[in-house]
Each structure stands twice: as structure tokens, then as C-alpha cells.
Amino acid sequence: MRFSLNFINEFIKVEMPAEKLASSLTMAGMEVEHFEKIGSDWVFDIEVTSNRYDWLSMIGIAREIAACMHKRFIIKYPQIIKKPLIKERAIFIENSKDCPLYIARSIRNVNVKEPPDIIRERIVNCGVNTINNIVDITNYCMLTWGNPLHAFDEDKLEGNIYVRRAKNGERFIGIDDKERVLSCGNLVIADEKKVIALAGVMGAKNTEVSRQTKNIFLEAAIFSPVTIRRSRRLACLDTDSSYRFERKVFGDYLECASMAASNLIEKIAQGTLAGYREAGKKTAHTQKKLTISLSSLQNYLGDTFPKNKVTRILTSLDFKVKTIGVDILKVTVPAFRLDIEREVDIYEEFIRIYGYDNITAKLPFLLEQKPKISNYHFKNELKYFLTTLGLKEIITYSICADKELEKAGFSKPVKLTNPLRLQENALRPSLLLGMMACVRYNINRAQENIRFFELANVYQHKDGSFCEDATLSLGVSLSRDSFSYLKGVVEELLKYLNISSWTLQEKSAPNFTSALSIVAGNQPVGSLGKLDESVKKEFELKEDLFFAQLDISCLLSARRRKLYKAFSPYPVINRDISIAFRYDIKFKEIEKIIRGSQAYIVDLRIVNTYEGKDLPKGYQAFTIRLFYQSSDKTLTSEEVDNLNTQIRNKLLEAEGVILR
């Protein structure tokens, strides 16, 4: 929306530089995106939010500027004349929801010519093209009051005027010379024989005002914003008129805009007002009255404000303020502010004019509170981390069938007393059923390398009642090394949560083979394993599923604060050690021997595995790459070799370990 400062000066004298005005309006919520000087005028381009249709008029913008400048703003309303009555034609409205009110004035013996320079300058600087004095006057009054108007060549009208829906296939040629095929979704203005306008959007070519026009039929109306939006979209049109009607126009200014245009046509085009007619009625506005307290306002905004300043600012925005108590104010909302609903809306109106930057800066007073454990932010953090590992989130139903749960090995689930369907009569005690359903669905559609996770609640019986626990499930079905991948995800997750003292312990779990319990400290936090072959066939899974489930609350309580230290600027040197050890020895025992031998070891990795004939029976072989680094010097090759030898000697001392 563009506005001209010279245009605004017709309503209030602006005595501040353009730069300061732009800043003041932006800080008050009317964002100035651009401003420039054109001749002797300053033109501003502002962003109009959908709730502030009153800013689509010079009067509305002038009211905001007056409030920012702390000046009084007075609107000069024209004297409304409604006589004589137009007798040549009547006006009929098909549906009052589409058009509550339609006003027409007949102006005779006009002289259509070039507009005066002042009107041309005003509308052009506001982004509207100049046509002739009649059309430019209607646009000038639209910009002034915010109510679109349209002038018809009255001599081209045939009979009565109808506000109706278009007939399917009805044709319309607009003043842009383009023909459009209309439907019942379009609202039109028509006479007895033809469509003369696409209501609220564009006039028709067949009644366009030209230099030969002598008599004017001036239209002013209120149209439904929804109807105009649909009609405009169907016609693929967007005009200054439809832009305003879509955002709603203020009905109380309708007569003012029409009368002001009539007066200007009489003055500039030497016309004579010959008649008036209206159809429908103006929608009655019930002015909202809100009660606010200064103490509540001050608590909300965090500062103290004098009552007279609050009253003055609200009054400058056309609110009516009445004191009814020591710090209680009754505020009457102006009829054009349909967006004001609650007390906080009044607070916002006050502070945007008062200035957020004028609030006294001070440290907030905070009561000491015990930290609260919240799963909400923790779960969001887990979601983000798991997606960075390449897993995709799934969302499944909490309600399932008890028979399906029994097949999956879950007995005595929490049942619903009034299920809508037998297939949905129990609450899930685990996220396994939902994970299997999602994996099966994707596999059946030729999806590969499935990596899913879900964060949801599970439900169980506990101490004669029920409990609801936040749970994380992981499901993996890859072409190879699914178990290693799933174990790696769990390991990375625990590392991310800075849970260092965790182990994987063998456990017996129904419906799972090679199941492991995830233990952090001495507390089990979850389990992982491969879905049993019998369950896999029962649920028609074509591929193996590796599944893990972890308790969110246990993870949150086991989580430790992260501590950071400076990284070493010195290079890393690596050495390989090949060893073989018995199957009954866990790799963590080997890792413990290696890490306990030297402080310079920063990492170790398995780079190769081997099982062959030259190994003793019951042994497995690995090549382990050790990474050495010092935080205060560069290690020499001799030092690293010596350290590596010490580790080899430690491994030789271990029972069941062979160096290769």
C-alpha cells in the first residue's frame, strides 16, 4: 500500500522529516518498507496486515500518524443528501449476504475531461493510474475513505439494477478489454439485459465512462469479503477495489465516500446531483466495551505509566476512555477496529504508540525455583538428533487390538471399557506393533534400508492402576549389518547424552533372539534385539527387523552435563595391533586393557576381522587401530612405538588373548 505525504497533509499537518516519520510508523506497527521523494511529495510504501483494513485509506493512515505525533485528528464529514429519489430505475439485491447495502447517486450533465493536477498527483503517487476526472474522483475518494466506488455511464444502463450471481457461461468484457466466462461463483452487477460490472472487482466495457458521457450513475456498496475473494479468483483478476473488499470495508464511511465523490463531480465536472436510491441496509455494529486496570497493564508491560498518558494515547486512536475507579478504565472500542477482542489488545495498542523502546530497561525479578524435569523439550532434542543420524520419524496409533498384542507376546494389556471397534480395544504396552506395521507397509512397497524411530507413550498396569510412560523405539531393516547399525545408533545416542557408564548385557526377551539389555549405571534404560522368526512370519514381515526400545524418563535421569575441553593442536599418530581372543571374551574387556595402559590413546577402531583355519578353535581375530596424541607436544615415532609395545605386552598377559 502506497500513500502520499501531500495527501496526508490534507488531514493533518505532518511536521517531521520523512525518515523520522518512517521510523515512527514502523515502530508503531505500520512497517514502512520503502519511501522516496517524487517531485515535492514524499511517497511511502507500507505493509498492511490483514487485520488492519483501516490502513487502506488516507484517513486511517492519518489517524496513525496523528497518534504517533501526539496530535488531535479530526475528520471532516460531508453533509449527506438523499434527495430527490431516483425514479428511472430500482435496485434489487438477490442475496443480502453477498451485498448487505447498495447506494446509488445520479449526477447529470457532467463534463468529462482531464482531472485537476492535484487529484492526478495524489492518486498517481498512491499507485493508481489516472483515466479522466470522473474515474479519478472515484479513486481519490476510495483512497481517502477506504470505500471503493464505481461510476457507470447512466445513458448505457437499461432498466433496473440487479446485484446477483452470474449465470453459468455468462460472458463479461471488462474495462481491460478482456472477455471472461463467468459462473455462479461470480457476483455481478447487471441491468435488465446485460452484466455491467463484476461486483467489487471491475466495471464492464459496455457502461464505461468516456469523453462522450453526460450522465453518471455512481455506485457505492458493501460486499461480502469471501464472495469477492472467490469471484476475483475465478476471474483471475486483482484490483485496488477487490483488495479492499476482500479485507472488509467500513460501512459507516460508505455514505461519506459516495457523497464526497458526488460533491467533487459537481465541483470539478460541473455536474448536478439528480437523485439517490439505496437497497438493503447497513449492518449494525455493537461497540465493544472492555474494562482494563492500570496495574494489570503495568504488570503485563513491566513498567509504570501515568493514567493521563494511557488515556491520551488510546483517545488518539479513537478509543473512548472513561475512568470508573482508582485505576480502572472502561474503554469503548471504535467500530472500525474489529480486531480488538481482549484487554491485552488494548495493552498492545497503547504500547505500540507509547514505544517499546521507551519501556524502562531493568533486570527481571526471578523467584528461585527448583528445576523441573520436562520430557517435552528433551523429546524434541532427541527427534532432532535421531534425524541427523539418518532415521525417519513415524507416528502410529495408541489404540490397537488385544488379539494382535497377544500374537506379539503381550498379555493383559490395558483394555478400553467402551471401544468403538473390536480391532481397537486396547492401549499399546509397547511401540513394537506400530513399528512392525510401518516396516511391513514400506517393505511391501519395495522400500529398502528402513531406519525408523518413534517417540510416543506406552500404557501398562501398575500397582492396581495404570501408568503412561514416554518411550523411544528404533526399528532397522537394512540389506546388511542391521544389528551393527542399530547398536551404533544406541551408542551414539548415549554418547550424545553424555552417558558414559553404560553396558549391553545379555537378556532373555520374549519374541526376540540375541536380545540385549541397555544398562546405564545400574539402571536398565531399554533393550534391543532381532525380532524372532516366528513373530516375523506371524506378522508377515518379509525382512528381518532389529528393534530397540528405551525409556525416556530413564534416559533423562541418566543424562549427564556435557563438559568441554580444548582440543590438541598436535598431530595424531596411529598404529595397528592384530590379536585373536576367545569368543567368550567381550571386546569391552580388550578395550579396557588397551585404554588402561596409556593416557595418550585418544581413540581405537576395529579395521578388520578374520576367522580362518590358522586360528585356534573358538577364537576370533581383529586388527585394531590405535590413535595416539599428546595435548602438549608432538609424539615421536620412537615414543609411539614404545607405547604400542607396552600395550602389546599387557595384552600378552591377558588370558585367552593371542598376538598375531
Reported as a single tens digit per residue, the pLDDT across 69-101 is: 988 888 899 999 999 999 999 999 999 999 999
Q: How many residues make up the chain in this entry? A: 660
Give 279's Cβ-side CA count (13 Å radius).
Answer: 20
Q: Which three cell numbers stand for residue 500?
A: 558414559
The average pLDDT across 565-585 equals 89
HEC sequence for 373-425? CCHHHHHHHHHHHHHHCCCEECCCCCEECHHHHHHCCCCCCEECCCCCECCEC
**Does the structure show a pLDDT above 90 at 284?**
no
The confidence band for 367, taking pLDDT boundaries of 50, 70 and 90, is low
For helices 482-496 and 375-388, give the axis angle rounded to 10 degrees: 130
Residue of 99, 93, 336, 56 lying closest to 224 (CA atoms): 99
pLDDT of 362 = 78
Q: Which three cell numbers stand for residue 31?
A: 512497517
The average pLDDT across 120-142 equals 96
**Does the structure show a pLDDT above 70 at 467?**
yes
Instruction: Match 534404560 to its residue by C-alpha cell.
Output: 525
Give 479's Cβ-side CA count (13 Å radius).
Answer: 4
The confidence band for 369, taking pLDDT boundaries of 50, 70 and 90, is low
**Does the structure show a pLDDT above 80 at 13?**
yes
pLDDT of 586 = 82
Inter-residue contact 548 to 389 (CB < 8 Å)? no
pLDDT of 458 = 93
> How far is residue 151's CA from residue 128's CA, in Å, rounded to a whole number?
16
Inter-residue contact 205 to 174 (CB < 8 Å)? yes
Instruction: Match 538428533 to its residue by C-alpha cell.
Output: 385
> How far is residue 594's CA from residue 500's CA, in Å, rounded to a whole number?
17
The average pLDDT across 191-213 equals 96
SS3 of 540, please? coil
**Does the structure show a pLDDT above 60 at 372?**
no
pLDDT of 617 = 85
Q: Would you give the end-to-end CA distance of the chain in angstroms?
A: 81
> How far is residue 405's CA from residue 410's CA, in Å, rounded to a whole number?
5
pLDDT of 513 = 85
Asked which of 197-201, 373-377, 502-506, 559-563 is least confident by mean pLDDT, the reply is 373-377
Spatial neighbors of 196 by CB under 8 A, at least 6 apart, are 152, 156, 157, 188, 189, 190, 203, 204, 206, 207
**Does the structure show a pLDDT above 70 at 388?**
yes
The CB density around residue 448, as the number of other CB atoms within 10 Å, is 10
Reported as a single tens digit per residue, the pLDDT across 17-73 is: 999 999 999 999 999 999 999 999 999 999 998 889 999 999 999 999 999 998 888
pLDDT of 655 = 87
pLDDT of 587 = 83
The CB density around residue 74, as the number of other CB atoms within 10 Å, is 8
Residue of 22, 111, 42, 51 lying closest to 340 (CA atoms): 51
Q: Which domains does the chain have, with CATH numbers?
A: 2-69 (3.30.56.10), 91-280 (3.50.40.10), 289-358 (3.30.56.10), 375-558 (3.30.930.10), 573-659 (3.30.70.380)
β-pair partners for 627: 574, 603
The average pLDDT across 512-516 equals 87
Inter-residue contact 107 to 218 (CB < 8 Å)? yes
If you ran DSSP here, which 8-state letter would residue 659 be given? Answer: E
> How far is residue 144's CA from residue 10's CA, in Å, rounded to a whole number?
10
| Per-position DSSP letters for 295-313, written without gaps between them | HHHHHHHTS---HHHHHHH
> How far is residue 318's CA from residue 312's CA, in Å, rounded to a whole number?
10
> How far is residue 68's CA from residue 8's CA, in Å, rounded to a whole number?
14
Reported as a single tens digit per residue, the pLDDT across 594-636 is: 888 677 888 888 888 887 778 888 888 989 999 999 988 999 9
Asked which of 132-146, 184-198, 248-262, 502-516 is least confident by mean pLDDT, the reply is 502-516
Q: Which three cell numbers stand for residue 421?
A: 471397534
**Does the structure show a pLDDT above 90 at 339?**
no
> How far is residue 48's CA from residue 46's CA, in Å, rounded to a whole number?
6
The confidence band for 123, taking pLDDT boundaries of 50, 70 and 90, is very high
Q: Is the dihedral of CA 155, 159, 164, 166 positive or negative?
A: negative
Mean pLDDT of all residues in the chain? 91
> How far is residue 188's CA from residue 168's CA, in Å, rounded to a whole number?
12
Q: What is the pTM of this model?
A: 0.60
pLDDT of 374 = 66
pLDDT of 368 = 55
> How far is residue 640's CA from residue 384's CA, in Å, rounded to a whole number?
40
Residue of 473, 459, 322 lying closest to 394 (CA atoms): 473
